[in-house]
Structure 1
């Protein structure tokens, strides 16, 4: 049985963490023995009951030179003896790669979901050239950005694997936000989702709503370390009465089915999972022109794209959808996601990156 260790010692639950759970779930179902490394007390319950998936909790993730963490990781990896190690978070790249090599694991895959500056070229050179880790990115635009650092990255060690989503099965009972929030029947419900972070642009919501009619309300789901700071600033604005923070939600299908359109106002992304999810439910979207969104929306064919931080353009995008000036057929949105960004494709390409092509694995077994 193939074995994979996925490192995701995070204190927040966002798109990357959800994607680790998705990969763990479907790799486990496909017969891979999966071990997920989490911080003690953080999100183990969200991996409970997954087939062939076990959680290992660690007390600390350490820093770049925390040898106690390296020793613990080496101990874990030598005990499991995995075929591949995957690190979902950039701050873990160095320790996970070093521990993997000390433990004798040849294949190390590091994930990057958003464009970052290469602040430590020497460290990156050691990770990707000397220790020969592979970089997984989630969009072609992000892959192109990393390939500009030609001393570190090339066509062989940077692999694009789109985030995948399965189309919702059957009809879901949508969340009735108008009844739940005591809003009038004519209210337009705009959905937002994501962790509270300056990167996500939720601080722009009052200015966006200021350019829209009073019957437009925003419902937001998510958590994050900047929650109090961002909500506190928003609550100083009169538009706060039209912004409803719902926290973490378990039934995102009901959330997406209950909104009229979805808004992504991020300042930076790799490829936003929430856009995929919204479109897989046939929900029209407005997005800033962040990396990945142009690919996902086919340069405007399947949604409205605006400049980053342009609150007037974001408001116009919302208005054009709610007033029917621009329409996006739900069946076309769903078909596009299913064809280009399907879950089956993501798992197939992940397995190939983790374990090699199917034919290679068959040959190794003989």
Structure 2
């Protein structure tokens, strides 16, 4: 039986963590024995029902030179003897790569979901040239960004695997936000989803709504370490009465089915899972021009692209969709996602990357 260890010792739940959950699920369903490394007390319940998946909780993720964490990782990996190790978080690249090499694991795949500056050249050189770890990214634009550092990366150690999604079943009941929030029937519901972080651009929402009619409201789902700070700033604005924060939402298909359109106002991304999800539900989308969005929207064919921090452009794009100036048919959006970003493609490419090195 093939074995894979997925490292994701995170304290927050967002797109990367969902990506690990998805990979654990489809690998386990395919008969791979999967072990997921999580921080003690964080998210183990979300993996509990998956086939062939075992959660191992650790007390600390450590720092770059935490010998106790390295020793613990080496002990875990030697006991499991996996075919592949996957580290989902950039903070873990060094320790996971080092522990894997000490434990004798030949294949180490590190995930990057958003463009980062190379701050530690020596560390990157050791990880990707000396220890020969592999980098996987979720968009061509992100791959091209990393290839700008030829001292560390080339086409032999950087691979793009698109995030994949199952098309949702049409029978799912939508959330009725108008009833839930006591809003008039003519209210337009704009959805946002993601962790609270300056990167996500939620601080722009009051300015975006200030340029739009009063019947346009935003509903947001998600959590994060900057939640209090971002909410406090928004609540000082009069537009806050049209911004509704709903916290963690377990039933995301019902969320997406209940909105009229989706807004991604991020300042940086790799490829936003939530944008893919919204399109897979047939919802029209407005997105800032961040890495991955151009590919998902086919340079504007399947949604409106706006420059980062362009509040006026975001407002105008929302209004164009609401007023019917720009029309995106649900069937076309769903078919585009199915063909280019479906789950089966992600499964094939992940299996090839993890278990078929001669095919890479």
| Bin for the TM-score computed over the shorter chain | over 0.9
In the alignment, the residues of structure 2 paired with residue 151 and residue 251 of structure 1 have an alpha-carbon distance, to the nearest angstrom, of 44
Aligned twin of 1:134: 134
Aligned twin of 1:314: 314
Aligned twin of 2:77: 77
Aligned twin of 1:339: 339
- Aligned pairs for 1:1-366 (under 5 A) are 1-356=1-356
In the alignment, the residues of structure 1 paired with residue 340 and residue 308 of structure 2 have an alpha-carbon distance, to the nearest angstrom, of 25
State the 1:169 CA deviation: 1.9
In the alignment, the residues of structure 1 paired with residue 305 and residue 211 of structure 2 have an alpha-carbon distance, to the nearest angstrom, of 17
Task: Tell me how many residue pairs correspond in the alignment.
Answer: 359
Secondary structure, counterpart of 1:267 in structure 2:
coil
Secondary structure, counterpart of 1:290 in structure 2:
coil
Q: Deviations over 1:40-98 (max 9, x none)?
A: 00000000110000000000000000000000000000000000000000000000000
Secondary structure, counterpart of 2:207 in structure 1:
helix
In the alignment, the residues of structure 1 paired with residue 190 and residue 154 of structure 2 have an alpha-carbon distance, to the nearest angstrom, of 41
Q: Deviations over 1:110-131 (max 9, x none)?
A: 0000000000011000000000
Q: Deviations over 1:12-66 (max 9, x none)?
A: 0000000100000000000100000000000000001100000000000000000
In the alignment, the residues of structure 2 paired with residue 247 and residue 179 of structure 1 have an alpha-carbon distance, to the nearest angstrom, of 18
Unaligned runs of 5+ in 2: none
State the 1:170 CA deviation: 3.2
Secondary structure, counterpart of 1:4 in structure 2:
strand
Aligned twin of 1:363: none
In the alignment, the residues of structure 2 paired with residue 169 and residue 99 of structure 1 have an alpha-carbon distance, to the nearest angstrom, of 42
In the alignment, the residues of structure 2 paired with residue 285 and residue 177 of structure 1 have an alpha-carbon distance, to the nearest angstrom, of 18
Q: Deviations over 1:306-341 (max 9, x none)?
A: 000000000000000000000000000000000000
Q: Give TM-score, length-normalised by structure 2.
A: 0.99
State the 1:171 CA deviation: 1.8
In the alignment, the residues of structure 1 paired with residue 170 and residue 297 of structure 2 have an alpha-carbon distance, to the nearest angstrom, of 24
Q: Give TM-score, length-normalised by structure 1.
A: 0.97
> Could you list the runs of 4 or more consecutive aligned residues of structure 1 that deviate by over 2 angstroms after TM superposition?
none
Q: Deviations over 1:183-209 (max 9, x none)?
A: 000000000000000000000000000
In the alignment, the residues of structure 2 paired with residue 211 and residue 288 of structure 1 have an alpha-carbon distance, to the nearest angstrom, of 17
In the alignment, the residues of structure 2 paired with residue 54 and residue 348 of structure 1 have an alpha-carbon distance, to the nearest angstrom, of 22
Q: Deviations over 1:145-200 (max 9, x none)?
A: 00010010001000000000010023211100000000000000000000000000
In the alignment, the residues of structure 1 paired with residue 172 and residue 312 of structure 2 have an alpha-carbon distance, to the nearest angstrom, of 33
Secondary structure, counterpart of 1:68 in structure 2:
helix
